[in-house]
Amino acid sequence: ARDGFEVNRLQAYIFSVVEKIYTSNAQCRAFFGSRRNPGHLLGEGETFFLPAFADTLEALAREGEDLFYRGDIAHAVAEACRTGGGLLCASDLAGYQVELRQPLEVHNRDVRLLTNPPPSTGGILIAFALELLKGSGMAAMGFGSAAHLELLARTMDLTNRARVESRLHENDADDHADTMLDPRFLETYRREILGRPTATHGTTHISVIDARGNAAALTASNGEGSGYLVPDTGIMMNNLLGEEDINPHGFHQWPPDTRMCSMMAPTLVVFDDDAVAAMGSGGSNRIRTAILQVLLNLLEFDMGVHDAVESPRIHFENDLLSVEAGFNAADVEAVARQFPRVETWEERNLFFGGVHSVLAHPCGGRFEGAGDPRRGGVAMTV
């Protein structure tokens, strides 16, 4: 951080997207300002220096987590909230505890799926969609066919609606998660799929498998920048309470002492031959649909990890069908006639998530990996 790094094209794009936030105050302008073009944000090819953040990382390495939760950083955050109208106080940070939870486990298509449990909603929505699609004959439709894309979009639509009807979108998601996988609830939505009714941000992921077959999937999110830097730390606070998918009821509505939900869904898949895969994605609302499509590519279309990740995707939400480049134009045109609003993308785009995935085969210790190019992913075997 102290030596700086050269800003690449993706980073420059991200800077441009959030330009209004970062130019909203003098502190942010100085932090993200261009040395080459004063008065503008950093551009591609410039070097981005973070000396204050480098000092903070060194201090954290020396002093440990207490610096953030109980020390100088905690006091700075609490004081900023006190003077600026925020709600966090020192006791909130000092009292924070990590909770260890049992994964949500479901069995589907002869595999065991282990994913993020409530209060996160992403994992259970992926499991719900997979259950809806059992027995649908998707594999026979062929990947990218009009029938495949329409069924996939209808499933995404019904998953969104089921999320509301099960009340999973509310703050107390733990209390309503069982409804989503209740057989009677599933059967209602499965019938609706078969009837073909008319249709009425800053997250990253790493997947690792070692030589012994131990697998880990880790997703972390900063959301986007809020425009506020904790003084003298180089830390910009995030905007997660401003994300509709996480906080659907808006500002100042979150109940005290309630864990935030999330769409993040780090996922492990254990196959019947003891092969194991690890995957996850960034992409806010698109996390669940991106992971769902990679899973279906592996399980229904028998793709390898590379093809499963690289294949084009769709996303359906709020009556808008978004279609990534790469599908047959005639199939896209046929599907477009079935939906009120369709948006086609001319290239592969980070909008459709970034499902970084690895898979280990038990025979011969063979590994496969794919870093999703939509979000700058890489895969390495060491």
Catalytic residues: 203
C-alpha distances in Å from residue 57, one per residue of 76, 154, 235, 244: 16, 46, 10, 31
Task: Count H helices and E strands in the chain, helices first.
Answer: 15, 15
CA count, 13 A, side-chain hemisphere, 368:
18
Q: Measuring CA to CA, which residue among 93, 108, 174, 95 is closest to residue 138?
A: 108
C-alpha distances in Å from residue 90, one per residue of 31, 37, 149, 207: 26, 40, 50, 34
Beta strand residue intervals within 116-257, DSSP E = 203-209, 215-221, 225-230, 235-238
Q: Are 324 and 345 in contact, with CB atoms under 8 Å apart?
A: yes
Residues 6 or more apart whose Cβ sits within 8 Å of residue 354? 204, 205, 281, 282, 283, 290, 372, 374, 375, 376, 377
> Which of helix, strand or coil describes residue 297?
helix
Q: Are 200 and 189 in contact, with CB atoms under 8 Å apart?
A: no
